[in-house]
Structure 1
Amino acid sequence: MYFTDRGIEELTARRGDESVTLEWVSDQLRTFVDLHPEFETPVERLASWLARLDDDELDDE
Protein backbone atom coordinates (compact mmCIF):
# COMPACT_ATOMS: atom_id res chain seq x y z
CA MET A 1 0.00 0.00 0.00
CA TYR A 2 1.28 3.44 -0.91
CA PHE A 3 1.22 6.22 1.65
CA THR A 4 -1.21 8.12 -0.62
CA ASP A 5 -3.68 5.25 -0.44
CA ARG A 6 -4.59 6.32 3.10
CA GLY A 7 -5.63 9.75 1.85
CA ILE A 8 -7.58 8.24 -1.01
CA GLU A 9 -9.32 5.84 1.37
CA GLU A 10 -10.17 8.74 3.70
CA LEU A 11 -11.59 10.70 0.76
CA THR A 12 -13.78 7.75 -0.21
CA ALA A 13 -14.91 7.15 3.38
CA ARG A 14 -15.77 10.80 4.03
CA ARG A 15 -17.16 11.84 0.66
CA GLY A 16 -17.87 8.59 -1.17
CA ASP A 17 -21.63 9.12 -1.19
CA GLU A 18 -21.42 12.64 -2.62
CA SER A 19 -21.78 13.65 -6.25
CA VAL A 20 -19.47 16.40 -7.42
CA THR A 21 -18.70 18.03 -10.74
CA LEU A 22 -15.31 18.22 -12.35
CA GLU A 23 -15.65 21.99 -12.03
CA TRP A 24 -15.85 21.57 -8.24
CA VAL A 25 -12.79 19.29 -8.26
CA SER A 26 -10.90 21.81 -10.40
CA ASP A 27 -11.78 24.61 -7.99
CA GLN A 28 -10.56 22.53 -5.05
CA LEU A 29 -7.29 21.74 -6.83
CA ARG A 30 -6.76 25.45 -7.55
CA THR A 31 -7.43 26.32 -3.92
CA PHE A 32 -5.04 23.60 -2.77
CA VAL A 33 -2.25 24.91 -5.02
CA ASP A 34 -2.92 28.48 -3.83
CA LEU A 35 -2.44 27.28 -0.25
CA HIS A 36 0.43 24.88 -1.07
CA PRO A 37 2.31 26.20 -4.13
CA GLU A 38 5.07 23.63 -3.64
CA PHE A 39 2.60 21.01 -4.95
CA GLU A 40 1.85 22.87 -8.19
CA THR A 41 3.74 20.39 -10.39
CA PRO A 42 2.19 17.18 -9.01
CA VAL A 43 -1.30 18.70 -9.10
CA GLU A 44 -0.73 19.84 -12.68
CA ARG A 45 0.42 16.33 -13.63
CA LEU A 46 -2.61 14.74 -11.98
CA ALA A 47 -5.01 17.17 -13.66
CA SER A 48 -3.40 16.60 -17.07
CA TRP A 49 -3.47 12.84 -16.59
CA LEU A 50 -7.16 12.92 -15.64
CA ALA A 51 -7.98 15.19 -18.57
CA ARG A 52 -6.30 12.85 -21.05
CA LEU A 53 -7.53 9.47 -19.79
CA ASP A 54 -9.36 8.76 -23.05
CA ASP A 55 -6.41 9.70 -25.29
CA ASP A 56 -5.00 6.85 -27.34
CA GLU A 57 -1.43 7.77 -26.40
CA LEU A 58 -2.06 6.77 -22.76
CA ASP A 59 -2.71 3.24 -23.93
CA ASP A 60 0.85 3.09 -25.29
CA GLU A 61 2.53 3.94 -21.97
Structure 2
Amino acid sequence: MYFTDRGLEELVKRRGDEVVTCEWIAERLQEFTDLHPEFETATERFATWLARLDDPDD
Protein backbone atom coordinates (compact mmCIF):
# COMPACT_ATOMS: atom_id res chain seq x y z
CA MET A 1 0.00 0.00 0.00
CA TYR A 2 1.29 3.41 -0.94
CA PHE A 3 1.09 6.27 1.54
CA THR A 4 -1.28 8.06 -0.87
CA ASP A 5 -3.76 5.20 -0.65
CA ARG A 6 -4.98 6.52 2.70
CA GLY A 7 -5.81 9.89 1.19
CA LEU A 8 -7.51 8.28 -1.79
CA GLU A 9 -9.55 6.03 0.49
CA GLU A 10 -10.61 9.07 2.52
CA LEU A 11 -11.57 10.88 -0.67
CA VAL A 12 -13.84 8.01 -1.73
CA LYS A 13 -15.28 7.67 1.76
CA ARG A 14 -16.08 11.38 2.13
CA ARG A 15 -16.99 12.30 -1.46
CA GLY A 16 -17.67 9.00 -3.20
CA ASP A 17 -21.32 9.77 -3.90
CA GLU A 18 -20.69 13.22 -5.39
CA VAL A 19 -20.77 13.96 -9.09
CA VAL A 20 -18.18 16.52 -10.19
CA THR A 21 -17.11 18.09 -13.46
CA CYS A 22 -13.65 18.28 -14.95
CA GLU A 23 -13.87 22.03 -14.46
CA TRP A 24 -14.45 21.53 -10.72
CA ILE A 25 -11.44 19.18 -10.50
CA ALA A 26 -9.26 21.63 -12.41
CA GLU A 27 -10.28 24.43 -10.04
CA ARG A 28 -9.43 22.30 -6.99
CA LEU A 29 -6.05 21.36 -8.49
CA GLN A 30 -5.34 25.05 -9.14
CA GLU A 31 -6.27 25.91 -5.55
CA PHE A 32 -4.04 23.12 -4.28
CA THR A 33 -1.12 24.32 -6.37
CA ASP A 34 -1.63 27.89 -5.18
CA LEU A 35 -1.48 26.66 -1.57
CA HIS A 36 1.35 24.17 -2.17
CA PRO A 37 3.54 25.42 -5.03
CA GLU A 38 6.13 22.74 -4.28
CA PHE A 39 3.68 20.24 -5.81
CA GLU A 40 3.26 22.17 -9.06
CA THR A 41 5.15 19.61 -11.17
CA ALA A 42 3.26 16.63 -9.76
CA THR A 43 -0.07 18.41 -10.18
CA GLU A 44 0.76 19.35 -13.77
CA ARG A 45 1.78 15.78 -14.57
CA PHE A 46 -1.40 14.40 -13.01
CA ALA A 47 -3.61 16.87 -14.89
CA THR A 48 -1.85 16.09 -18.17
CA TRP A 49 -2.20 12.36 -17.55
CA LEU A 50 -5.94 12.78 -16.89
CA ALA A 51 -6.35 14.92 -20.00
CA ARG A 52 -4.66 12.32 -22.21
CA LEU A 53 -6.16 9.10 -20.84
CA ASP A 54 -7.98 8.29 -24.08
CA ASP A 55 -5.17 9.39 -26.40
CA PRO A 56 -3.71 6.28 -28.07
CA ASP A 57 -0.44 8.11 -28.84
CA ASP A 58 0.39 8.63 -25.17
Q: Normalised by the size of structure 2, how large is the TM-score?
A: 0.96
Q: What is the CA-CA distance between 1:45 and the residue it aligns to?
A: 0.3
Structure 2 residue matching 1:24: 3-state secondary structure: helix
- Shift >4 Å, 4+ stretches: none
Q: CA RMSD in A?
A: 0.6
Q: Who is 2:40 aligned against?
A: 40
Going by fraction, where is helix more abundant, 1 or 2? 1
Specify every segment of 5 or more residues in structure 1 that has no aligned partner in the other structure, as ranges: none
Q: Which runs of 5+ in 2 are unaligned?
A: none
- 2 CA distance for matches of 1:22 and 1:12? 17
Q: Which residue pairs with 1:27 in the alignment?
A: 27
After superposition, what is the alpha-carbon deviation per residue over 1:2-45, rounded to whole angstroms, capped at 9, x for unaligned?
Answer: 00010000000000000111100000000000000000000000
TM-score in terms of structure 1 length: 0.91
Is the aligned partner of 1:51 residue 2:51?
Answer: yes
Greater relative contact order (Cα 8 A, min sep 6): structure 1 or 2?
Answer: 2
Q: SS of 1:12's equivalent?
A: helix
The count of aligned residue pairs is 58
